[in-house]
Amino acid sequence: MVKVGVVGYGVIGQRLADGVARQKDMELVGVADVAPTLAIRALKEKGMPYAFYLGMAENKPQFDALAIPVAGTLEELVQKVDVVLDATSAGIGAKNKELYAKYNKKAIFQGGEKNSVADVFFHGYANYEKGLGKQFLKLTSCNTTGLIRSVDCLDRAYGVEKVAITIIRRVADPGDYHRGLTNALQIDKAPSHQALDLMTIMPHIDATGILVHTPVTHGHIITVVATTKQKINKAQALEAFGRHPRIRVVRIADGFQGNASLFRYARDLGNPRGDMYEIALWEESIVESGRDIMYAINIPQEAVTIPETMDAIRAAMQMQTERLAAVGETNKHLGLGKWLQN
């Protein structure tokens, strides 16, 4: 049983903890943070299902005042685990790395950290084998994670030469106030980092992209124009996407009109927090254009990287040495692909 700790119990950290808790071959030893945030207060009100460790000892009086039980320090948590999932704010993970290295522990960082923090820039489907046995892995960002899922799917089925993407990006997570209330769109300088990151993971594909920030909070939408090595039609693309356990093909005709429809459906399914681990791909968005195939996907930014993080644990700890065996275990424990049997 692989012992796992989660450092940073925020938007991603909460979901990582839940994801690890669902893996039958992993044990969540505990979670760590520095302040009694709303997420920690909610953890206490739920009866402390996860042991809590304190990232800054001088803040303990704040937790004592709220009667939040503290199981120990961050350093003690690190000593108890085999692998750490670092979900702290960008830049903090790189500092925490010194502690993980001190105790010779493996660690997996989220997409906000610089690539230099890790031995391998990792994606479960696209380059699983490169992560085998490595000490430090870094996940791709939420957008890049979902984008690579779809491109890798087409690439393994038909071969992909190049992609051009447009990202319509949510401006902030739900509940974030620091970005302000806006009524505008903002475009970034091309190419977007997601296109560059895709080429880092999949160097045989030429990629470029544009990113537009939008004043919404639930999900990004990415349009992709892919040039495949052999010309394919819509039916062939649909067949490949339809077999993928982390891609859910949906139809506008069925009521999936956009990101809000998907979020509402996830809540109706009873998913905790309305989370979706899978990306959604609209069937009606698949279009043939000469040699190219075009499609649109939805990226549920709060939860989409959780499956690939579980894959990263499996790779770093060499729980499975073969890609499909590893992602298959993750998918099974997270309930991914259930819709394929419906």
Structural domains of the chain ordered from first start = 2-140+305-341 (3.40.50.720), 142-299 (3.30.360.10)
What is the CA 42 to chain-centroid distance, rounded? 23
For the entire predicted model, the pTM comes to: 0.95
User: Do you know the residue count of the chain?
Assistant: 342
The predicted structure's pLDDT at residue 29: 98
Supply the pLDDT for residue 177. 58
Cα radius of gyration (the chain)? 20
Which residues, 6+ apart, have CB-to-CB distance to 182 below 8 Å?
A: 171, 215
Dmax over CA atoms of the chain, in Å, equals 66
Q: Over the chain (342 residues), what is each successive 10-residue block's mean pLDDT?
A: 97 97 97 96 96 95 96 97 96 95 97 92 97 98 96 98 93 66 83 96 97 86 96 97 97 95 95 95 96 96 96 98 98 93 64
Name 80's Cβ contacts closer than 8 Å, sequence gap at least 6.
3, 5, 29, 30
Q: Is 33 annotated as a binding residue?
A: yes
Catalytic residue among 142, 154, 222, 247: 142
Measured between its terminal Cα atoms, the distance across the chain in Å is: 32
CA 159 to centroid of chain Cα atoms: 24
Known catalytic membership, residue 153: no
Say what the pLDDT of residue 306 is: 97
Buried b (16+ CB within 10 A) or exposed e, 325-338: ebbebbbebbebbe
C-alpha angle 50-132-53 in degrees, rounded to nearest 5? 20
